[in-house]
Amino acid sequence: MVRHIGLKLRMVIMGSILFAFYAAIAGLAYLYFGATTGALGIVLLGTLAFVGFQYKFGKWAALRSVGAEDMPEEGRYQEIHQHVDQLSRDMGIDKPRLMVADMGVPNAFAVGRKGAGVVVVSTEIIDLLDRDELKGVLAHELAHISNRDVVMMLIGQSIAAMVGIVVQFAVIFGGERNIGSYIFAMIAGSIAQMIVSIFVMAISRYREYVADSDAAEYTNNPDAMARALEKISQGAKQRQQASQSLNQRGGRGRQQQDNGMPDEVAALCIFGGDRGILQTIFATHPPIEKRIEKLRAR
């Protein structure tokens, strides 16, 4: 029986839409550089190489942005490795590389694919959650790897970035090169990237529900997963309040999302922060209250 038909169907649809954007970009570049067989080959190889580079770079950047380090298999981390060993066997995937980071906020995220996955856990979440709650979080992250939605997210973000860049160059080289055209190119590129990102964010929200469901199933403890989300949400809100207080006093830091995480990794985390009504369409995560409600309704 095929698992998560809804998620797979959404990923196929989004993949088709992203491929259409990719094909349009390749076609425009092909016509711009000359309609020859050699030009077509260069365009196809170049765009594929760009997506591949973005995927690899995205994984590296996510780990680097939080200062992730390999998690020792002994001491306080021994039980985490045992949980992941068991859950990986149950899910039928290779045990991913485990890393730990001081993120400043209780959170966790996964990157990579089956056979080459990485799960990063913050020291803050280890201190915050009890045994069953932490196991639920680990199962949630392993579910993302098992469902292959992490790969789709990174590729989707890469194609969105590529669309934005191509639109900028098309505007710049398609008219007079002055300050006005450069400003318009930046605006047009941002809008184009935003449009593509809408489809990526829609999948991002749905995949969180699926991973929550998988975590509840494989741990047989949906309430523990719900409690974990409550604690993580509260911890993130406390961090946000502290950051706002610091900003009011004139403090500054690198750009971060509402969950206290840097932009390059926020979409991958288990908790994505609270959003206003106008931001809902671009949110990477569904409302935490709805996630908890679904878990407790099981």
Spatial CB neighbours of 177, under 8 Å, sequence gap ≥ 6? none
Q: Which of 124, 141, 208, 217 is catalytic?
A: 141
Element (H, E) at 100: strand 97-101
Annotated active-site residue 141? The verdict is yes
Element (H, E) at 111: strand 108-111
Do the Cβ atoms of 78 and 84 come closer than 8 Å?
no
Q: How far apart are CA 251 and CA 243, in angstroms?
A: 8
Exposure b/e, 237-274, CB count within 10 A at least 16 = b: bebbeebeeeeeeeeeeeebbbbbbbebbbbbbbbbbb
Do the Cβ atoms of 57 and 103 come closer than 8 Å?
no
Q: Select from 137, 173, 144, 166 the least CA-distant residue to 62.
A: 144
Which pair of tokens denotes residue 38? 């050699």
Q: Select from 64, 263, 51, 261 the least CA-distant residue to 161.
A: 51
Do the Cβ atoms of 136 and 215 come closer than 8 Å?
yes
Which pair of tokens denotes residue 6? 């809804």
Q: Select from 276, 258, 56, 34 the least CA-distant residue to 155.
A: 56
Q: How far apart are CA 264 and CA 244, in angstroms?
A: 21
Which of the residues are catalytic?
Answer: 141
